[in-house]
Each structure stands twice: as structure tokens, then as C-alpha cells.
Amino acid sequence: MTLATLTEVLQSALKGGYAVGGLVTLGWEDMRAYVAAAEAEGAPVILQAGPGCREHTPLPVLGKMFRYLAEQASVPVVAHLDHGYTAEECRQALDSGFTSLMYDGSRKPLNQNIDETAAIAEMAHKAGISCEGEIGFVGYSGGEGSAGTDPQEATRFARETKVDAMAISVGNVHLQQEKQGGLDEARIRAIEAVTVVPLVIHGGSGVPVAQRSALARSSSICKFNIGTELRMAFGQALREAVLRDPARFDRVAILKETHDPLVQAARSVIRALGAPKL
């Protein structure tokens, strides 16, 4: 069994000068492909259940799916709750066998975010699992704008919450389909200068691959969340499978054809983050 906590994989990444992919899942097809990709690359992987995934599949079911895949895997697999918005949701994930909780209080005033995130971190640590928090709101492409992370607020957040990983807002945007602009490296350096906590980039699909690789090697960013990029690869493979034979109606036969393209896309993501083969 290679079920791991977020702390275990990110501390190794911090020491080793690489980052780990937080790959956003929507169902069995993609989570299975992500583990296959991680095994092919000999690298750890973080399976993430975000709000969209949880709307489709209940947390207790997702916990069993993640843990089953981890038990069969030859590489470390983290079962991670992405963007938990309530204490109740985080508690349910913990009870469902997740090994990492991400509490997102980034829309809230700083003191409230600190207090609520600290409570989730304490709950997680008592259960022997990890906690990620977010300081500085990361916006959405075509939607809510970002509020960049203030380095002094970040150091207070890390100290007072005792999180194991800290998501920051440094020019990254969720749901971005094009790789534009890149991250604010001066702000990243200012944040990592005042904290030792592994840093996380949400909205990693919009970050140029070369910058992901460089920051994985040379900064405290140890986790890049990748969702949109891989969903696009899945969608393209599914579209081609459906159109290849319009008379087909068996969903299992159709979905099987998404596996190999998605494995290849996920392998490219994982490889660029520089993890040495285990």
C-alpha cells in the first residue's frame, strides 16, 4: 500500500528540488489514468477531489476509489480534498479516508481565514493527516479576479495555522485554457523568504511549462494543481472516440479509448515537474 500524506510527498519534494502534480479528478477514468502515469514516470501523485468532482460523486465513494488505487500502486498516492469550504466537508473527507485536507478560506478576512484554517489543520493533525490552506484569493478565468498574496500576511498565516502546505496567489488563475503571462516570480521570492512551508500553485494549467519546471527546481513551490489542461486532453480523446464510430453506444468501450491519451498527457505534466524516479 502506498497511500501517503501530503506532508510526506511535499517535504521530499522540498528537499529534492522538484514538485508534485496535484491532478484534479472528475471520475474513475481520469484518476486511474493519473496513477498509471505516475507509475510510468516513477513519481508520486496527488489525486484531488474538487467541488465539481464532489457534486458528481459523494466523498465516501471518492475516498474508497482513491484508497483502492493507492493500494494497488507502486508509487506514493495522496488522497486530497481540494477546496473544502466548510468544516463539515473537511470532517467528512477525513472520515472517508482522505489523507490530506485543503481548506479554502481565501475569500474571507485574514483573521477569520487564519482561525478557521488553524482549526482544520488541528483536526487533520490529530488524525495523522495533512492540511493545505490558501492565503490570497486565486481568481477564475472569465470570472472573479485574484487578490495577490501579501508576503507578511503569508508568514503570519503559515505560523498561526500550522498548515503543511500554503497555496498562494501570484498571477495564477483557475480554469485558464491558454498558457499566458506566467507567475510573478518576485512575489514568490518574497513569500518564500519569510516562510519554510511548501508552496502550492492553484490554476497551474495556465502557467507555461518551462516556468513550472524552473520553479519546481529552484523555489519552494512543491505542488502544481493541474486540472483544465488534463480535462481538455480527456475531452479531445472522448470526442474522437465518439466520432470514430457514431453508431457505438457502449460507454465502457468509448471511455476505454480515453485512457492512453490521458496517461500520456498526465505523464508530460508529471515529468516537467522533475521528480526523480523512485
pLDDT of 142 higher than 80:
no
Is 16 contained in some domain?
yes
Is 76 contained in some domain?
yes
Categorize the per-residue pLDDT at 171 as very low, low, confident or very high, splitting at 50, 70 and 90: confident
pLDDT of 144 higher than 70:
no
Residues 6-40 have pLDDT tens digits of 999 999 999 999 999 999 999 999 999 999 999 99
Please check whether residue 220 is in contact with residue 18, taking contact to mean a CB–CB distance below 8 angstroms. no
Alpha carbons 20 and 119: distance in angstroms, whole number: 26
Task: Please give the average per-residue pLDDT across 120-136, as a whole number.
Answer: 98
Grid-cell match 473527507, residue found? 93
Determine the 3-state secondary structure of 134 from DSSP. Answer: strand
* The total number of structural domains that make up the chain: 1
Is 29 contained in some domain?
yes
- Per residue, what are the HEC states of 212-225? HHHHHHHCCEEEEE
pLDDT of residue 198: 98
Q: Please give the model's pTM, rounded to 2 decimal places.
A: 0.96
Determine the 3-state secondary structure of 9 from DSSP. Answer: helix
Residue type (1 letter), 192: E
Is 242 contained in some domain?
no
Is 157 contained in some domain?
yes
pLDDT of residue 61: 98
Residues 236-259 have pLDDT tens digits of 999 999 999 988 999 999 999 999
CATH code, domain with 109: 3.20.20.70
Task: Please give the average per-residue pLDDT across 274-278, as a whole number.
Answer: 89
Alpha carbons 29 and 234: distance in angstroms, whole number: 9
Of residues 82, 104, 150, 164, which has the active-site annotation? 82
pLDDT of 4 higher than 60:
yes
Calculate the alpha carbon distances from 146 to 22, 165, 188, 238 in Å: 20, 20, 15, 32
pLDDT of residue 175: 66
pLDDT of residue 278: 79
Helix, strand, coil % over all residues of the chain, rounded to 5: 50, 15, 35
Residues 200-232 have pLDDT tens digits of 999 999 999 999 999 999 999 999 999 999 999
pLDDT of residue 172: 85
Mean pLDDT, rounded, of the chain: 94
Is 258 contained in some domain?
no
C-alpha cell at position 244: 470514430
Interstrand relation of 100-103 and 130-135 (parallel, antiparallel or unpaired): parallel
Verify whether residue 30 is a known catalytic residue: no
Please check whether residue 198 is in contact with residue 222, taking contact to mean a CB–CB distance below 8 angstroms. yes
Please check whether residue 259 is in contact with residue 29, taking contact to mean a CB–CB distance below 8 angstroms. yes
| Cβ-based burial of 94 (10 A; exposed 0-12, middle 13-18, buried ≥19) | buried
Is 79 contained in some domain?
yes
Is 247 contained in some domain?
no
Which domain, by its residues, includes 21?
Answer: 3-226+264-272
